[in-house]
Amino acid sequence: MEVYGEYLFMENFLMGLLILHLAGKIAGLVTSKKRLAAGGVLCGLFSFILFVPNLGMGMGTLVKLLFSALLAWVVFHKKIFRAMVLIYLVSAFMGGMTILLLYLTRISGMTSNAVLYIGDIGYVNVAFGAVVSWLLVLAFSRVMAVKQLRERIFTEVIIEIGGHQLVHRALIDSGNFLREPLSGKAVVVISKGAAAQLKQLEDADLSRRYCLIPYNSIGVSHGLLEGYRVDNARVEGRNLGSVVVAVYDREFCRLGEEETYEILLSKDFLMGGIAS
């Protein structure tokens, strides 16, 4: 069959973008639009390996592994192995959907060296298949992320401020909806004791970081909590960036004899992905 280079590039460019976007979503890996676009271009260019004579199992596997490692590094720049695994898993799912589409529509196509070229297919069909696959993977990842979240109760939070680090145990609170009034971002709530440690830090310049967070609760309407914007917060190896920590005016209740904690953490901070 005839192969048109521009169609070959565009098909693999678009599918590459979709696969990389979904892999990042599932793995909880953050990337930029420029890096994502660069990854799509690499996928489009790699598709021309279709014209290379059969590389054989050994050499073909090596080339694919090297390319996937390069792709993961260009797009995500860290946690390369995790990114590679998710790229392969999403690719396998998308490949299955493509084979199903070809079977149901009787559209001709060809494959060589792990590159797929679909012949007589309209862009509407391509867009429909891509959207369906995207929605299915996102729905699956969302369900799995919620399931994992329910299985976790406590975690560790590292607060970075003014060159200092404070490590606290946090309770994952599904009922914590406290947010910054302007940005709408979730807020970390710290206990009176944890706040005392924060206020004792030298060179933290807390006056510049000070803010007020409005809240409503049972018996309290239009209340205000003192807050401080920290440089960064890390949860399970993930950087949350500059977040606001709001100060609760007492210690949190214990859950049993040993279950003490100093932070209430919104579940929003842990919804980065099911493989994160």
Q: How far apart are CA 155 and CA 172, in angstroms?
A: 7
Cβ atoms of residues 114 and 57 within 8 Å: no
Q: State both tokens at 156.
A: 């560790």
Cβ atoms of residues 226 and 209 within 8 Å: no
DSSP 8-state class, residue 199 = H
Q: How far is CA 270 from the centre of its chain?
A: 10
Active-site residues: which are they? 173
Q: How far apart are CA 202 and CA 83, in angstroms?
A: 39
Q: How far apart are CA 196 and CA 271, in angstroms?
A: 29
Neighbours of 219 (CB within 10 A): 6
